[in-house]
Chain A
Amino acid sequence: MSFVRIEDLTVSYGKVLAVRGISFEIPKGEVFGFIGPNGAGKSTTIKVLATLLKPDSGYVEIDGIEVPKHPMAIRRRIGYMPDFFGVYEDLSASEYLHFYAAAFQIPRSRRENTIGDVLALTDLTEKAKEPVDSLSRGMKQRLALARVLLHDPDLLLLDEPASGLDPRARIEVRELLKALQGMGKTILISSHILHELAQLCTRIGIIEAGQLVTAGSLEEIYASLGLMQVIHTQILNLTDDMLANLRAIPGVASVDTQVDRVSIQMRAGELTAEDLLDKIHSHGARIRMFQPEAMDMETAFMKLTEGKTA
């Protein structure tokens, strides 16, 4: 059953139509990546789910509850992190979390423990007493993540959580999101940094000019576009016969030999990396390295979008 369901959602700001009939579903426990250029309608869609915007038309539901009709019930189930920090600079990290713990009506007796847990999870325990304005951007972002976890929401709405962060802070946030995924949280995360989502999301939706261009798992999208996946391998006993056998495997498009490796291009959807490994092994190959290349999301994105904005 879908935890989040959006059907034919339309949102406008005055005369500007920001979202034009978007529909998608997110099952419970899934990490859904929302990809699109700036001004595509990602933040607007997330704001509708976060009860901050009223849709012009369409149906929006979280956990079986219609969002526009029961916003208060929705607020207890979601954790929303906007694309800016949204932290009070005049408080310490601990005071900031106590502030939101009280706002989410967490009983006073449980607050200390809960705040200790989220600080530990976000690796901010050492910084609990520090003023927020003294924290680095990465720490502020982790603090904002700690805030959305306070009331243990089922759904996390994260609007560009890694934007403006340095590589280290970005990796830290990504690892944190993986941990949350492990906890079974349903996560809707938007970004325009493609490889970031490729490493994290179970499904993605590509949005452009307020319309959903495509949605599905990465493999499904690659298959629909006829994109190739590349596997780099080192075979110790490589011979011409073995190369011929590799080229004959169904689903393999081409095999290129390079100085230190063999690059195998295979058609996504017809063959998986695991099956290819089994088949190479069955031909008697002694494998030293087997490395699938990260899917080329940028190619997919460029193929699917035209650079329009809403």
Chain B
Amino acid sequence: MNSKRTHLEHIPWWRHLSFPLLTKELTEQANRRRTYVVRFLYAAVLFLLGIFAIAGDTSGNVRLGAGGAIFHNLVQMQFWLILIFLPATASGALTIEKERDTLSLLLITTIPPWSIVVQKYLSRLLPMLSFLLLGFPLLAVAYSYGGVSTNELLAAIAMLILFAVQVAAVSIFASTWCRTTGEAFIATYLILAVMSIFGVWPMTHFRTLSTATGLRHIAAAQIGVVLSIGASVVCLFLACMVLERRAFLPARNVLLQMFRRLDKFYEDINQVTGGIVLVNDGGELPDEQPIAWRETSKKSLGTVRYLFRVLTVLEVPILFVAATINLSNVRNTNSVSVLLFLLWTVGAAMLCVHASGVIASERSHQTLDPLLTTPLTGADILKQKLAGVRRLIFVLLVPFASIFGFQTWFGGFNLGYLVGSAASALIFLWLIAWGALWIGLRLSSPMKAVLTSMIVVALVCGVPLILETVLSRSAMLRELWIPRIAGSFSPASVIRTIEYRGQLLGVEDNLAFAIQLAILPFYGLALYLIRRECLRSADELLQRLPEDPDAAIDPFQVSGTNESGSPPESVTLAPAST
């Protein structure tokens, strides 16, 4: 190390500005198909949302002078897109090097740590800035409608750039600190959440700067801007400081470690009760279903005790809110409905993470191939792999049932509501599980599988609603109920309509309720088809040879194995010569 430092001391600082790592990263990105797919997706989402913002539900004449609102909507969209896209690309900048054991090779070059961090930072920031340029034509359209000052336009551009700079800096810091891309991804959002609480958030400053009139507000926004810049600099500085120190972290399962600490805490507390153990996970050995055994006794989200903790976390707020409503004079069940929507969000995310990872994680840990050479059928492997997910769904059904029960209690018995709610929970939860499993079967990286599953869920929920908005612009289509029908295909719409059945008073609303109930069998059919495809093509999806249905010869009669297909009785391990 000393010799390296001595060597570096002779290299003038400006020689480090040649940025070979940045060149390599940008060239690599340009060679990847994914770069163009992401760019297309970003532009598609931006322009689609932009068209909604510009088109709205008013005619062109009315929009004259209304450019301000459109402009603000577009800028907000850009902020959200930065928040979604940038951590996804930047949080893996250095963790990927750690995962591939290539960071050590970078560190022994003459590139100093600060330069590695800066080059990695720029390699993620520059493409994002080019993404931002894609949105400027839309801003120009909004500007042309009037109602937007030049200062606002400049403030928007400055704040968008500042936000990208800040998010990229936080992501790079998380990437230097964490061991895996998944951890860095989550850490980025946690740090950003903390920053937003403390006002280090350019989205807020933009609103203040564009609307504030008083000097105090402007000064506050300017301080916020300085804080954002400061936060970015601090993140990059910290990243430079910890790069070498955290370059060789051993692989660890953060969730498992957290649960183990929690276990120890509970075990210490349990000493008070004399160490009573109600459920003992993992004591048994596998019987006939080894994969299901491992999924339900060795995985964090599969064991009874961990699932019980999840259930407690989900159920307690529901019981608390229900008790509060029960005690109050006016029974407003809106808060229970909000809890239901939150439960759906949390449940869908948990299922995406768990179900998409069951096969993808085996692939990434290189444990799948040995499993595929066992005589278990592909369908059996998949069914057993979902044993933990099945348990998770049963656990999620408890708070769902609680909410449906409380709504019936508070709002009166309604068979349609109960049947619709129960069916929606059963169908959608299993649909997410099988859909995420199917995605996980097709992708090799667990992170990609989880993100893709979540994006697909978001698209399935969002696209019908966007279609509804677009189609609603036509009076003729509105008369034919086509926009409403299109929107009804969104699971979010199904859940919302069933939940608010108490507020449906008119004939039209009852018809909407009936349409939503009629959509459920459609998703039931989708669930059936996805499940059937997974089980039928299990061997191909798992990437091993399927049994040839046309094979005429009974292989068990060729030699060795008995008719039932089990191995011969005697298992001899002694040398043949003896």
Contacts and interface: CB of A to CB of B under 8 A. Distances in A.
A308 to B, nearest CB: 25
Main secondary structure of the interface of B (DSSP, over half): loop
A204 B333 CA distance: 76
A104 B374 contact: yes
A67 B567 contact: no
A91 B367 CA distance: 13
A87 B366 CA distance: 8
A54 B546 CA distance: 9
B230 to A, nearest CB: 42
B369 interface: yes
A232 interface: no
Contact of B545 (A52, A80, A99): A52
Nearest to A107: B566
A51 B376 contact: no
B521 interface: no
Nearest to B572: A152
A82 B560 contact: no
A152 B545 contact: no
A81 to B, nearest CB: 8
B551 A51 contact: no
Interface in A75-96: 75-78, 80-82, 84-91, 95
Contacts of A82: 366, 369-370
A222 B84 CA distance: 63
Contacts of B576: 29, 182-184
A75 B567 contact: no
Contacts of A88: 294, 298, 367
Interface in B315-355: none
Interface size grouping (class) on chain A? 35 or more
A86 B366 contact: yes
B290 interface: yes
B558 A63 contact: yes
Given A106-B567, A114-B571, A149-B573, A51 B366 contact: no
Contacts of B365: 89
A30 to B, nearest CB: 13
Contacts of A65: 555, 558
Contacts of B370: 80-82, 86, 100, 144, 147
B536 interface: no
A99 B551 contact: no
A154 interface: yes
A70 interface: yes
B575 interface: yes
A151 B571 contact: yes
Contact of A91 (B294, B373, B377): B294
B539 to A, nearest CB: 8
Contacts of B294: 88, 90-91, 99
Interface size grouping (class) on chain B? 35 or more
B544 A52 contact: yes
A117 B366 CA distance: 26
A136 to B, nearest CB: 15
B544 A105 contact: no
Nearest to B546: A71
A98 to B, nearest CB: 5
Contacts of A67: 545
Interface string B286-303: 111111011000110000
B249 to A, nearest CB: 15
A86 B369 contact: yes
Given A76-B560, A80-B369, A70 B551 contact: yes
A69 interface: yes
B574 interface: yes
Contacts of B559: 63-64
Interface string A57-75: 0000001111111111111
B547 A72 contact: yes
Contacts of B287: 102, 108
A150 to B, nearest CB: 8
A71 B573 contact: no
Given A76-B375, A106-B567, A182-B575, A68 B560 contact: no
A168 interface: no
A152 B373 contact: no
A44 to B, nearest CB: 13
Interface in B552-570: 553, 555-556, 558-561, 565-568
Contacts of B372: 51-52
A75 B375 contact: yes
A85 B298 CA distance: 19
A76 B563 CA distance: 13
A51 B568 CA distance: 21
Given A54-B545, A182-B576, A103 B567 contact: no
A11 to B, nearest CB: 12
A15 interface: no
Nearest to B548: A69
A179 B547 contact: no
Looking at A73, A91, A98, A149, the one whose CB has the most chain B CB atoms below 10 A away is: A73
A71 B547 contact: yes
A55 to B, nearest CB: 9
B298 A102 contact: no
Contacts of B555: 65, 69-70, 72-74
B306 to A, nearest CB: 13
A108 B285 CA distance: 10
A50 B566 CA distance: 18
Contacts of B367: 86-88
Interface string A133-160: 0000000000010010101101000000
B567 A151 contact: yes
A78 B539 CA distance: 18
B23 interface: no
A106 B287 CA distance: 10
B291 A68 contact: no
Contact of A105 (B299, B553, B566, B574): B566
Contacts of A149: 573
B343 to A, nearest CB: 29
B374 A75 contact: yes
Contact of A104 (B369, B375, B377, B548): B375
Nearest to A102: B290
Contacts of A64: 558-559
A178 B186 CA distance: 50
A103 B374 contact: yes
Nearest to A73: B555
Contacts of A51: 372-373, 544-545
A121 B366 contact: no
Contacts of A89: 365
A100 B558 contact: no
A95 B553 CA distance: 37
A231 interface: no
B503 interface: no
Given A105-B566, A144-B370, 7 more contacts: A29-B576, A71-B546, A76-B560, A85-B366, A95-B285, A106-B571, A151-B567
13 contacts: A52-B543, A69-B551, A69-B555, A76-B560, A78-B373, A82-B366, A84-B366, A85-B366, A86-B369, A88-B294, A89-B365, A91-B294, A103-B374
- Enumerate the 8 nearest inter-chain pairs by beta-carbon distance, A residue then B residue, closest first: A184-B576, A73-B555, A102-B290, A70-B555, A71-B545, A69-B551, A103-B374, A182-B575
Interface of A: 29, 47, 50-54, 63-78, 80-82, 84-91, 95, 98-100, 102-108, 110, 114, 117-118, 121, 144, 147, 149, 151-152, 154, 179, 182-184
